[in-house]
Amino acid sequence: MRLAEPGLSIPAGQLFAILADEGHVALAVSGGSDSVAMMLLAQDWAKEHAHSLKLTVLTVDHGLRPEAAAEAALVARWCGALSLNHHILKWEGVKPATGVQAKARAARYGLMSAWCAANSAKFLLTAHTLDDQAETVLMRQRRTDTAESLAGIWETTSWNGIEIFRPLLGVKRAELRQYLAHVNQPWIDDPSNLDVKYERVRLRSELASEDARMEALAGIATAAGHEALRLAKAAKDWNLQHLKSYPEGYGIVSRPEFSKLGADIQQRVLQQLIGLFGAGNRAEPQELVEVCKWIAGQSLSRRTLGGAVLAARKRSIVVGREAGRISSDSVCVPETGEIVWDGRFLINAPPGSQVVPVAHLKNLERRPDIPNFVGLALPVALLCENNAVMPHLSLGEGVSAKFIRYLR
C-alpha cells in the first residue's frame, strides 16, 4: 500500500468517512493532479476502511481538444494498473461557440450522473480543492454579497438525484501534488488551465503562493455557508407554518404575514416557493428584491420569476407554474405506464399515451376552483383513443397525477 497521506493537513480517514457504508461510488477523474490524487487516496482509504466498497472511475472526453481522447485513454491505463474500474464517457454532438466552460460542465455532470443512476452509484466524487474554493469566493465577491453566493462550493450537492461529494475541499492543491510526487504518480496538465481568457485562470495567478489569503477566502465560504443554512432553515420553517399547498401544484401564502418578515428571510421564502412551484430554477438576488418590493406595495397583479407565476391578491400571494415556459412537446408514456412530467408530476397512464400541458389544448374543461393560470400548467393525458384526460378532473380512465415536489 502507498503511504496514503504524507503532508496532508486532513487525514484520508476523515476525508472519505461519509462513504463508509456505501456499496458503490464513482469518482470523476480528468487526469489532472487534483482528481488523480483523489483517486489514489480514495483507493487506499477503501482498502483500509471500506473493503466491500466498489470504486468506479469516470473520465469525460468533451471532444473540445485533440488531445482529450489520448488523455482519457491514459487515465484508463493508470486505472488498469491500479485494478480500478474505469469508463470513458463522451460528449457527443455539436459543441457550443460561447459559454464553453459552463456548458461543458453541465454536459460533464449530466453524463456522469446518468451513469451513476444507471449503475447504482449514489455518490459521485469530484476533486475540488481549497484553491478552487478561494477562487470561487473571490470571483463572487466581485458580483454579489449574498450568503448563498459567498458560500462558494458546497461539500455536498446533488445533480439529477446523484449526490456530488467533494472530499478535498479543505485540502490545498500544493499538498496533493506533493503527495503525487511522493508516490511517483504523474498527472496531466490541461492547457486551458493556463488560458488567461478565463477569469478563474487570472484569479489563480493572482492567488498563487498566497496561502494566508486563500485560507481567509475559504473561511469566508465556511461562514457564509453557515449563514446560508440558517436563513434557509428560517425560510423553510416559515413556509411550513404559513404555506397552504394544493395537489394541483400551487400554493398560497398570506401577504400580510409575508410583509412582516425581514428582507433577508422574504427573499429566501420566495426562492423556496419558486423552486417548489416553478421551473425549479434559482432567481437572481436582485430579481427577488424587486418582487419583494412589489409584494409590499398595493398592486393586484401578476409577476413571473423562475418559471413561476406570482399572483398578488389583497390578502394573499398565489404561486404556481408559468404555463408559457412548459415545453409544448408531447411526452410519451413508456411501457412502465409511469413518467415524471415537467419535473413536478408523477403521471400514471396507459403506455403510449401522450402527456401535454393544458395550455396547448383548446376547449378543454377547466377546474373553476383553481386559478386559471394554474389550470393551464396542469398535465393532460392524450390516450391512444385520442380522448384527453386531465388527471385532476377524471381518475376513471386509468390516469392519475401526483405532485412530487417538496420543500428542501
Q: Hey, what amino acid is at 338? A: E
Mean pLDDT of the chain: 90
**Model pLDDT, residue 144:** 84
Lowest mean pLDDT among 4-8, 222-226, 355-359, 392-396: 392-396
pLDDT confidence band for 261 (50 / 70 / 90): very high
CA distance 352 to 339: 11
Tell me the whole-structure pTM to 2 decimals.
0.78
Task: Judge whether residue 89 has pLDDT over 60.
Answer: yes
**Model pLDDT, residue 395:** 46
**Model pLDDT, residue 345:** 93
- Long-range CB contacts (< 8 A, 24+ apart) of 234-241? 234/265, 234/268, 235/265, 235/268, 235/269, 235/271, 235/272, 236/272, 236/407, 236/408, 238/265, 238/269, 239/269, 239/272, 239/273, 239/407, 240/407
**Model pLDDT, residue 97:** 83
Which CATH architecture is the domain 12-225 placed in?
Answer: 3-Layer(aba) Sandwich (3.40)
Q: Average pLDDT in the 339-357 region?
A: 90
Domains 12-225 and 231-323 fall in the same CATH topology: no
Q: Average pLDDT in the 150-154 region?
A: 94
Task: Judge whether residue 49 has pLDDT over 70.
Answer: yes
Q: Average pLDDT in the 211-218 region?
A: 90
Q: Kindly report, residue by residue over 170-190, the tens digit of the pLDDT.
A: 999 999 999 999 999 999 987
Produce one character per residue of 30-55: b if its CB has 16 or more CB atoms within 10 Å, e if not: bbbbbbbbbbbbbbbbbeeebeebbb
The strand pairing partners of 366, in sequence order, are: none
Q: Average pLDDT in the 43-52 region?
A: 91
Q: Average pLDDT in the 20-34 region?
A: 96
Domain assignments of the chain as residue spans, ordered by start: 12-225, 231-323, 327-403
Task: Judge whether residue 204 has pLDDT over 80.
Answer: no
Pairing status of strand 123-125 against strand 162-165: parallel
Q: What number of helices (H) and strands (E) belong to the chain?
A: 13, 18
Task: Judge whether residue 276 has pLDDT over 80.
Answer: yes
Task: Judge whether residue 291 has pLDDT over 80.
Answer: yes
Instruction: Give one DSSP letter per residue of 271-329, joined into a string.
Output: HHHHHHHSSSPPPPHHHHHHHHHHHHS----EEEETTEEEEE-SSEEEEEE-GGGS--S
Q: Average pLDDT in the 22-28 region?
A: 97
* Residue range 231-323, CATH number: 3.30.465.60
CA distance 356 to 326: 9
Task: Answer with the residue of higher pLDDT: 396 or 337.
Answer: 337
C-alpha cell at 329: 412537446
Task: Judge whether residue 99 has pLDDT over 90.
Answer: no
**Model pLDDT, residue 96:** 85
pLDDT confidence band for 400 (50 / 70 / 90): confident
